Structure 1
């Protein structure tokens, strides 16, 4: 589903372990951290992905509106 570089995945797994330790006072191993990360990516990832797409769409639409306004400002009156 996601193409994550090994170094990024290692950092993410470490963050999961830290989260569980700080928030729940639980020490989890590599396998548990990986399963949790996979769950988050599979179940919640698509929601964040779609939010990102929506935000990108809104930004592009805003840029197009600004471009249309800029082009209209360049028009010269005709007789």
Structure 2
């Protein structure tokens, strides 16, 4: 799997969220470099779990919708008169 790439804006938002979490939940200040390092670590090591879960959820949603479409198509079936 390729390394996850984020825009500068996305990365900056994630860094801010890590810094905010450390500050509010742990009572510790963390610099931008350290926060970015953590973001990169989690993206590389934990991110694939979330990515795969998203794929499984998407597959499930698509499968469910395809079943609905199949049912709707079967409702359009017309009776056939045998022997004519």
User: TM-score band (shorter)?
Assistant: over 0.9
CA distance in 1, matches of 2:78, 2:5: 50
Alignment RMSD: 0.7
Structure 1's unaligned 5+ residue stretches are none
User: Equivalents in 2 of 1:38, 1:26: separation in Å?
Assistant: 20
The runs of 5 or more residues in structure 2 that have no matched partner are none
Rounded to whole Å, the distance in 2 between the matches of 1:60 and 1:11 is 31
- The structure with more helix, counted as a fraction of residues: 1
Are the equivalent residues in 1 in contact too, given 2:15–2:35 (CA < 8 A)? yes
How many positions carry a matched residue from both structures?
Answer: 79
2:64 corresponds to? 62
4+ residue runs of structure 1 moved beyond 3 angstroms?
none
User: Which has the higher Rg, Structure 1 or Structure 2?
Assistant: 2
Q: CA deviation at 1:3?
A: 2.2
In structure 2, distance between residues paired with 1:45 and 1:56? 16
